[in-house]
Amino acid sequence: MDTIQGMRAFAAVAAHSSFTEGARQVGISTKLASKYVGQLEDRLNAQLFNRTTRSVTLTDTGRSYYERCLPLLEQFDELEGLVQQRQSELAGRIRITAPTGYGSAELIHLLKPFQAQHPKVSVDLHLSDHHVSMVEEGYDLAIRFGALKDSSLVARKLMDMRIVCCVSPDYLALHGMPSEPAALAAHNCLLQTVGNNTDHWSFKGPDGEYSVAVTGNFRANSPRAVANMASDGLGIGRIPMYTAQPFLNSGQLQLLFEAQEAVSLGLYAVYPQNRHLTVRIRALIEHLASQLRGS
């Protein structure tokens, strides 16, 4: 057994408290992960895990080994990255987590030219609308909207995304055009339940920013769902521009109150602050920043 390979398997199992999930993370079978960890324990002459039929937990020795193991693996990755950089060829895996809507609609198109340029880099993309623990789940990079709340992470802003009000021509034909943002109080508004103050929408006025209380008969935690309902004429929605854009292009939706838009949402590349970024991860962050600056 290669010691580094065994350490990777051990660290992945420890992060997930599961041989099955740990094996999946490093791309090997559960049986092989168990074999590697067993060989590592034999080499160290120490028990690293307490194993039962229902759980896998670190022993005290295993926890100490895990804490020292992670920095060594990161430094090894960095060393490999430096060699790759000198050879002008990037290789290896990058594990990314991103919001479902943005990841499936936008991020994949940004990743395509990067992987075409660096075919030996493999991307493992996990889409979720819930914030996952990057360290515990073993992700190298997260793409997230909004201010960073975890002080153990580092965020690099990639862009500001407009949050726009939109409505279908069919809805306007039935209910009329709201003359100003305050008139939204009399309309059926479609509410996105992710974020704060979902039932108060902010706008810019002559005297500064103000909010309008809105109500409606549809709520969803997905901006795409709000966009679809708005395009079907159910009401007026407020969603990120990337979600609205295809509907705007097709004429299914049109924008309201562009001059009064007060909210934008920062898009960030996020990574653990104590992690040495490999060359391939740094290159991907630079690629995303460059692509989005030009968008």
Question: What confidence tens digit (pLDDT) does each residue in 97-133 have?
Answer: 998 888 888 899 999 999 999 998 999 999 887 777 7
The reported pLDDT for the residue numbered 182 is: 93
Domain with 185 in it: 161-264
Q: Considering its fold, how many domains does the chain have in total?
A: 3
The reported pLDDT for the residue numbered 198 is: 80
The reported pLDDT for the residue numbered 77 is: 74
Mark whether 46 and 119 lie in a shared domain. no
The reported pLDDT for the residue numbered 276 is: 65
Name the average pLDDT for the chain.
87
Q: State which of 75, 103, 133 marks the end of a domain.
A: 75
Mean pLDDT over 34-60 rounds to 89
- Residue 128 has phi, psi (to 5 degrees) of -155, 145
List the CATH number of the domain containing 20.
1.10.10.10
Mark whether 171 and 246 lie in a shared domain. yes
Dump pLDDT digits (tens) for 167-190. 999 999 999 999 999 999 999 999
pLDDT band at 199 (very low <50, low <70, confident <90, very high): confident
SS3 of 153-220: EEEEEEEEEEEEEEECHHHHHHHCCCCCHHHHHHCEEEEECCCCCCCEEEEEECCEEEEEECEEEEEE
pLDDT cut 90: percent of the chain above it: 42
* Residue 80 domain flag: no
* Residue 257 domain flag: yes
Q: State which of 24, 56, 75 marks the end of a domain.
A: 75
The reported pLDDT for the residue numbered 91 is: 83
